[in-house]
Every structure is written in structure tokens, then in C-alpha cells.
Amino acid sequence: MTGIEPETRPEQGRRPLSLRQWLTPDMPGSRLMGWVGPLLVTLFAGVLRFWHLGRPRAVIFDETYYAKDAYALTKFGYEHNTVKDADKLLLQHPPNLHIWADGGSFIAHPPAGKWLIAIGESIFGMTPFGWRFSAALVGTLSVLILARVARRMTRSNLLGTAAGLLLALDGMHLVTSRTAILDVFVMFWILAGFAFIVIDRDVSRARLARKIAERGEDDGLGPFVMHWWLIPAGLCLGTATATKWTGLYYIAAFGLLVLIWSMGARRAAGVRRPYAGAFAFEAVPAFLSIVVLSLITYVAWWSGWIFNAGGWGRGRVASNPVTAFFQAMPRLWDYHQQMWHFHTTLSAHHPYQSWPWNWLILKRPVSFYYTQPTGCGAPTCSREVLDIGTPAIWWVSIVTMLIVAAWWLVQRDWRAGATLLGFLAGWVPWFYYGLNHRTMFLFYATPMLPFMVLSIVLALGLLIGPATAPPARRVFGSAIAGAYVLTVLANFYFFYPVLTGHVMSYESWHSRMWLVSWI
């Protein structure tokens, strides 16, 4: 197994042969091998997420909102009120689609994630498989993205593959990928945006090296460098925000990260005034790509509400599209004020609510579905879909995140800093709402999960050591890393029945409730 190579720094006197190699080390091995491992773990993740995806044949947890909202978007362009027994009508054979009441419904979250759920419903119908299809698809693809971005960050094919495998084996990632709720979509678009930003770091540093080599002289600020990969990053982060407002924190965090990386690249390249150069040539284009383009993308996802009469608070719609757009903006702003009021005053007690300071220890998971059927061969049977992370990942990530934080504080390694920032952007903001007793749940931590996995992989890479480390250390580190991955696999296998709604005896179910608060 390949560990993490330390970054070469100017003061170490080991500058590579060319400025490009100095700024962007070469990727390991062939391109083919860089895809084989990630694709294999993605295939494995896909099997886990699509296998019996339509079971249980029920409307579980918040599917009662999002499955119907998604269907309404395809019919009206906006979320629509439904009759009282709409869930029962949808579960009939065949589904009874006469579920509409009068008027548009007030919604708490923007429409992007529901539009994606609607894709599966349009292809496979208003069935549990149909409304869960898109979540399973993006959950599977997120494994591929994390594997590839971890490979790029660590310059290790095996560590990249390990990152994808760990994400595939996380219980909460599996459950949210098999349920028509919004959080897996938020995570996917944030992770995709992060991946584009990491790609942009490599590409822009190589472009900076080439321009400096061509110019041959330094005017103090360095050359202008265009960051084309930030454009898809902005599209992704805007879509994340248009799914849940959680994406706003990542727009701010990643925008700051891009500017810091631009400063660091110019400083490493020997530019005399690196900070002024980054502000002069890169700050404004980065702001336009990440912030302004995200805002445009966010508004675009509201098109169904903007251009169709009948949505909550929409009112009359002008026939001219341009007039209709500007007519809608004040009303959309009013709508958002009502949404903000809802989110900041939501404090109703819920039996599965939890606080952000308890998330990493998995104190209170969420039961998406629980029944006591018959047919398990025991006096009492249980069947549950429990939204809980794999303990071997979540509990270990507490330690590895501290290791990554210390690594960044001591060496300012960009990989550690990016991982730490991605984690904190998804965690720290919730403390404010928690202190104000806002109702929240464990699955709100889903966007943090890829960065938790990255912290584990980075720690494993440090344990194994670089290629120049003593063979005994590398053998020992590889053995520990391999044993850990096998432990995660065994832990996931043990919890798999309560993640996917398998029927089992009550005693078998209870043996998986390790903490009293899990019941």
C-alpha cells in the first residue's frame, strides 16, 4: 500500500527539476490503474444501494414530503397540496395518482433535490423504487468522486480506492442513498464542487508554472491565471444550496480556500508579491465563479415556481418571460423570509432529534421505519431501517480528525487543511442552531461524511509512510491499515440488516442496539 508523500518545501532544498513538478507533482501509475480501483468500489456501492431498493414498500420517514413534492414538480412546476391519505393511495396496486388537493404548498427547502427525485419517478413511476432511484444513483456516484479526489489529494491509487470503499461501507450513507430525502443530494453536490476545486488547484498551478516559465521575468504580481474548473464548482455548489441551504456554508468556505490556495501557489512559485497578485488577478474571477454563479444557479432551480402560476405566494404570472422573472423576484424574496422564519423557529420536540455535539458519537440515530412483522421463526420479529453511521468509521474519525488538525497546525499541509475545513463547514454552523434548540437530526451531518472519510485515509497514509520510509514501518502500517478496513467491513456487515429493513428476531435486532439511546 502506498502512503502519503510529504510535500517538498523550498527550505528543504529538494526542489523538483521543473517549476511545474514543483507546484503539481505527477500522478502515480497509469490513468487506467487510477480508474480500476475507484470503479470497482463504485460497482460494489451500486449493488448495495440498488439491491431491493423498493423494499420496504412503504413511504418511510420524510419520503412523505419529498416523494410527493417531486411528483408535483413534474405536474405543476411547483410543490402542491395533497389529500390526507395520499401515502396510502400511492402504495395501492397500481398506485392511485389522484392525490391532489387545492393550491400550492409551502415548502421548507428549495426544489433542486426534489427535481432530481422526480427524474426517477418519471422513469420508473410513483413507486418506492421510482422515488428512491435518484438518491441511490447519486449515492453511488459519490463513492466514485471521493475515490478519485482522494487519489488526487494523496497521489496514491490505493488510498483513493480505500476512501471510496469506506464511504460505500458507511451505514448512514447507505440509508440516505436508499431513501428519497434531500441530504444525500446535498452531500453529492458539495463533494462534486470540492472535487472540481481540487482539480482546479492542480490545473491552475501547472498553468501558473508554464506562464512564469514563458515570461522569464517577474513584475512582482505574477501572471494572470484563469480558473476554468471553478465554473463547474460554482454550478455544483449552487445546486447544493438549491437543495438545502447548508450549501451556503460551503460556498463561503471553499471560496476562501481557493483564494488561500492561489496565494500559496504564487508564493511557492517565487512571485515577489504573491498575496497582492492573488487578489489582483484571481480573487474577482473566483468570486464570480463560486459566489455569483452559485446564486444564478440557485435562482434557476426555482424556474418552475417563477414561471408557473399557482405556487405558494406566487400570484399572477406575466406572459412575457422577462417580465414574469422580475415580477417574481420580490415574491421569491418574501417566500425566502418565510422559509427562514420556519427554520429559525422550528423547535418542536421530536423523539429522534439530536444535537451536533452528539453526532460524531452517534448518540441518537433516526429510525426511518420500524415494524414488528411475522415470519422470522421467533415469537417477536423486528424490521427496521435505522439511519446510523458505521461506528468503526464515525468513532475512529474523531481521532483522525484531531490528527489531521494537528498535521495542518504543524505543517500547514493543504490536504489536511482542506479536509478540516470541509468537515467544520458542515458541523460548526449547526452549533448555533443547537444552542437555540432548533430541531435537528443526525442525518444533517451527511455533508460532513466525505471529509470524515478523507481524514481517516490521510491518517492511514501517515501511518504507512512515504516510499522512503523504513520497510518495517511500511509493513506494519500497511497491516494496521488493512486490518482497519476489514474491521469496517465486518462492522458494516453486522449492521446491514437494520440498515435495509431485513426481517429478524427481536433478539437479533436488539443485539445491534449497542447504546440505550439507539432504541
Query: Does residue 5 have a pLDDT over 50?
Result: yes
Cell of 147: 475515490
Query: Does residue 132 have a pLDDT over 80?
Result: yes
**Amino acid sitting at position 513:** M
What pLDDT does 217 receive? 62
Separation between Cα atoms, residue 299 and residue 462, nearest integer Å: 43
pLDDT digits (tens, 9 = 90+) for 218-273: 678 888 999 999 999 999 999 999 999 999 999 999 999 999 999 999 998 888 89
Specify the DSSP class assigned to residue 27. Answer: P
Residues 342-367 have a mean pLDDT of 93
Cell of 47: 449493488
Q: Largest Cα–Cα distance in the chain?
A: 82
**In the chain, % of residues over pLDDT 70:** 95
**In the chain, % of residues over pLDDT 90:** 81
Query: Does residue 467 have a pLDDT over 90?
Result: no
Q: What is the mean pLDDT of the chain?
A: 93
What pLDDT does 13 receive? 43
Give the CA count within 13 Å in the CB-facing half-sphere of 493: 6
What pLDDT does 471 receive? 87
What pLDDT does 125 receive? 95
Separation between Cα atoms, residue 57 and residue 133, nearest integer Å: 14
Query: Does residue 10 have a pLDDT over 50?
Result: no
Angle, vertex CA 115, rays to CA 110 and CA 119, nearest 5: 165
Contacts for 316 with CB less than 8 Å, ≥ 6 apart: 309
pLDDT digits (tens, 9 = 90+) for 277-297: 999 999 999 999 999 999 999
Separation between Cα atoms, residue 472 and residue 469, nearest integer Å: 8
Separation between Cα atoms, residue 110 and residue 112, nearest integer Å: 6
What pLDDT does 503 receive? 96
Residues 357-369 have a mean pLDDT of 96
Query: Does residue 22 have a pLDDT over 70?
Result: no
